Structure 1
Amino acid sequence: MRTTPKSMRMHIGLFGRRNVGKSSLMNALLGFPKSIVSDVAGTTTDPVEKAMEFPPLGPVVFVDTAGIDDVGALGALRVKRSREVLERMDVAVVICDEAGIGPFERGLIAELQAHKTPILCIFNKCDRGEPSLEDARALLGETGEAVRISVKTGRNLDAVRESLIRIAPEDRFAEPPMVSDLVPAGGSVVLVVPIDLGAPKGRLILPQVQAIREILDADASCTVVKERELIGALANARTPPSLVICDSQIVLKAAADTPPDIPLTTFSILMARLKADLVRLAEGAAVLHRLKPGDHVLVAEACTHDVICDDIGRVKIPRWLRQFAGGDLRIDFSGGKHFPEDLAKYKLIIQCGACMVTRKHMLSWLYRAERQGVPMTNYGVAISVVQGVLERSLEPFPEAYRAYEAALRMEPEEA
């Protein structure tokens, strides 16, 4: 559990005004001082993250944020960072002091409810006063719970854990499968893993490791080969594999080398299914056929790394897009956990596999794009389109391919 990647942990954000006890509560839950605590308002600046094991929820990440009532030019930047965190949390803890719920808390709760985020409203400092829980419960409705505690005295801290367990999203206890439902017990899968300049030294990348683990959990077996060994692996297999999974960059070759009666897909398409909504990302991919020279496209990565000479996001995908569109495109890039707020100028957003962020995080970006009317797809789906093999790579997911075809038939005005 201690080595579970952050992207696979439930994220719990702590929000509230300055000096209501957010950092003190985080330290109390962790059992040691991770966040700096001071009587000086505005001590917490950037969000502070701490991964821990939190039974029975399992591995989680607590995120301490700056006060939402911070002031001044610097304070406005701190508030902006806190609100960026807000929309990608799986659970939100809104902390008040003995004064109870005020305008800031009401605004926060309304914003979280708009994101359908479960909310735990905590009245800290109940050793000084005890606001009514009924007002908070009426405001929260079915979206959360309210408790009174005192971090200073330790009063009722157990209630925080109990409430978090009750309001935690069900899908955090049973995350959607990546590949385990595509292979029967006793079946086999061939994983095609290129070893190129982008491959990390001495290890596999996270989606490949996740796929192997799910296949083993499904009581199936897997064979891992490079792209040149795929034909040999298939020829030497006693029985045909249930599935071939390949890296998106070599999907054209893998599709040519894999017999048509063996289903094939890519790691990135599996990640689209695990981390977001494959059907909606397939719909978004239809816009690739409508790209014209001069259109704006955003290529979004959920991590930051040095750009290599043939980088998939910064070099290969832009090159393929320009070839597919028949001319130059205006391509912007974003990296890390910060997604542009204003997306209106983009004809299409192409997101990476999102192995470094949570499903909620990825869905928040998808929702933001949809609210602004901008289609979105991901690396794996987009690459399969421009390589002309999307029908092949979406064969295990017929609903997604039907959505793509339906979007293709739509008139540009409708799309």
Structure 2
Amino acid sequence: MLANSGYRTYIAISGRRNVGKSSLINSIFNQDISIVSEVAGTTTDPVYKSMELQPIGPVTIIDTPGIDDEGEIGIKRIERARKSFYKADIALLVTDSKPTQYETFLSNIFNEMKIPFIIVINKIDKIDNVEHIKQMYLENFKKPVVEVSCLERNNIEYLKQILTEIIPQENDIPMLPEFIKSKDIVLLVVPVDTGAPKGRLIMPQVNAIREILDRKAFPIVTSVEGLPEILDKINENPRLVITDSQAIKKVDELTPKNINLTTFSILEARHKGDINILTKDVEVVEKLENGDTILIIEGCSHRPLKEDIGRIKIPAWLEKYTKKSLNFKFISGKEFPELSDVKNIKLAIHCGGCTLTRKMMLRRINALTRLEIPVVNYGVIISYLHGVLNRTLEPLLI
């Protein structure tokens, strides 16, 4: 498995100020990773630390500000902490006292976002009535409770063991359709344009090649211009052609109809998201009116390019198809906003999510569906606007 951020386990460390969140991180890794201070509010913004944590493997710890931070700046810090929870696969709710409104607030967020969490009672070397406090959390929150002392490193190994037990077991959904077998030819059409990183392939292309090799099949990579010659040279039809979404119209024309064709982003819709949700409302495009708001969401932050797929090409294709003047709003990065702040969204269009874990992507999809906002991904909308959605979805139904 590739060691990119989309395959790490993200662990959020949350709680009130000065309960020992940073100390807990240092104790878990047995290193001075986070700044520890007796001054409340030392951690001012979410801090991300990528490490190896056995037996879990590669993890990213999200060290968040105290949820009881005060003042106007404190409110903004709390909001940033809450947004960071969209990345979390699991969470630790750290406390040093009986439950307060803040622990209840965090518990409600984690339950709403379906983030498994453990309650960690810290400072057991200093506080009284630990067993009574533990029972209050067990009765009111119905979650695992672990008592620790970061100062003396009591119960830290046990906490790590419980962490491994609450990590959700994802359904292992492969990127490639199941019908790709040993010795099959899979033809990858990779446009070389301003959106491609110089000297490198983008992550979905790399992941596809790796999975083809794992199945002992044969990957062949070509440009759009080289597609006809490759099809003419090989002795048998490829079992599948996969292309970048923005080239789908041309590749559809060049690929015989008896050859399976799809896009990297369509494959990602199933691999990283929920293909049923990401396709069921695509026809809302037919009902768009002048001034309707379209929300375009990118899972990573990057400098917009001259021919940026999300900010330039998709808006242009949508307005050309609908013949309407639409209002586009853009969100980028792994932090996810409070969507209730963005009003009257008629359609959300998410990228393929190659830098996100499947849990992150599903949490975003669920947040949109809770607000009854139709959502598709780049590959679905591009194939639809070019009239080839049925063809690109067909390989997933075989």
Letter in 1 for 2:378: Y
Q: In structure 2, do the counterparts of structure 1 residues 56 and 237 end up closer, same or farther at CA, with 3 Å as the change threshold?
A: farther
1:412 aligned partner: none
Asked if structure 2 preserves the Cα contact closer than 8 Å seen for 1:276 and 1:359, the reply is yes
Q: CA deviation at 1:182?
A: 4.0
Letter in 2 for 1:311: D
1:111 aligned partner: 109
Task: Give deviations 1:132-151, integer Å, cap 9, x for gaps.
Answer: 3333233343xx41111101
1:127 aligned partner: 125
Letter in 2 for 1:33: D
- Give the SS at the match of 2:38: coil
Asked if structure 1 preserves the Cα contact closer than 8 Å seen for 2:240 and 2:260, the reply is yes
Q: 1:375, 1:146 → 2: CA distance? A: 38
The equivalences for 1:10-409 within 5 A come to 10-97=9-96, 99-129=97-127, 130-132=130-132, 133-141=134-142, 144-171=143-170, 175-179=172-176, 181-341=178-338, 342=340, 343-398=342-397
Q: Which runs of 5+ in 1 are unaligned?
A: 400-415
Q: 1:389, 1:184 → 2: CA distance? A: 25
Runs of 4+ in 1 over 4 A off after TM superposition: none
Q: Which runs of 5+ in 2 are unaligned?
A: none
Asked if structure 2 preserves the Cα contact closer than 8 Å seen for 1:321 and 1:386, the reply is yes
Q: In structure 2, do the counterparts of structure 1 residues 161 and 45 end up closer, same or farther at CA, with 3 Å as the change threshold?
A: same
Bigger shift: residues 18-27 or 49-58: 49-58
Asked if structure 1 preserves the Cα contact closer than 8 Å seen for 2:295 and 2:330, the reply is yes
Q: In structure 2, do the counterparts of structure 1 residues 139 and 216 end up closer, same or farther at CA, with 3 Å as the change threshold?
A: farther
Task: Give deviations 1:84-118, integer Å, cap 9, x for gaps.
Answer: 12243110110111x23222112211221122211
Letter in 1 for 2:106: L
Asked if structure 1 preserves the Cα contact closer than 8 Å seen for 2:293 and 2:328, the reply is yes
Letter in 1 for 2:175: M
Bigger shift: residues 300-309 or 175-184: 175-184
Asked if structure 2 preserves the Cα contact closer than 8 Å seen for 1:100 and 1:131, the reply is no
Q: CA deviation at 1:11?
A: 0.8
- Give the SS at the match of 1:52: strand
Asked if structure 1 preserves the Cα contact closer than 8 Å seen for 2:294 and 2:348, the reply is yes
Asked if structure 2 preserves the Cα contact closer than 8 Å seen for 1:344 and 1:374, the reply is no
Instruction: State the superposition RMSD in angstroms.
Output: 1.7
Asked if structure 2 preserves the Cα contact closer than 8 Å seen for 1:87 and 1:112, the reply is no
Q: 2:42, 2:177 → 1: CA distance? A: 46
Bigger shift: residues 174-183 or 318-327: 174-183
Q: 1:264, 1:348 → 2: CA distance? A: 26
Q: CA deviation at 1:386?
A: 0.6
Asked if structure 2 preserves the Cα contact closer than 8 Å seen for 1:310 and 1:316, the reply is yes
Q: 1:224, 1:393 → 2: CA distance? A: 19
Task: Give deviations 1:35-86, integer Å, cap 9, x for gaps.
Answer: 2111111110111111122222222111110000111111111111111122
Bigger shift: residues 305-314 or 162-171: 305-314
Q: CA deviation at 1:356?
A: 1.8
Q: In structure 2, do the counterparts of structure 1 residues 138 and 218 end up closer, same or farther at CA, with 3 Å as the change threshold?
A: farther
Q: 2:37, 2:166 → 1: CA distance? A: 30
Letter in 2 for 1:205: I
- Give the number of aligned pairs: 393
Letter in 2 for 1:301: E
Letter in 1 for 2:101: P
- Give the SS at the match of 2:247: helix
Bigger shift: residues 199-208 or 357-366: 357-366
Q: 1:261, 1:232 → 2: CA distance? A: 17
Asked if structure 2 preserves the Cα contact closer than 8 Å seen for 1:180 and 1:217, the reply is no
Task: Give deviations 1:236-262, integer Å, cap 9, x for gaps.
Answer: 223322211100000111112122222
Q: CA deviation at 1:340?
A: 3.8
Q: CA deviation at 1:392?
A: 0.8
Q: 1:182, 1:71 → 2: CA distance? A: 56
Q: 1:390, 1:57 → 2: CA distance? A: 39
Asked if structure 2 preserves the Cα contact closer than 8 Å seen for 1:353 and 1:378, the reply is yes
Letter in 1 for 2:366: Y
Q: 1:352, 1:284 → 2: CA distance? A: 16
Bigger shift: residues 389-398 or 355-364: 355-364
Q: CA deviation at 1:180?
A: 5.9
- Give the SS at the match of 2:320: helix
Q: In structure 2, do the counterparts of structure 1 residues 288 and 193 end up closer, same or farther at CA, with 3 Å as the change threshold?
A: same
- Give the SS at the match of 2:52: strand
- Give the SS at the match of 1:94: strand
Asked if structure 2 preserves the Cα contact closer than 8 Å seen for 1:7 and 1:358, the reply is yes
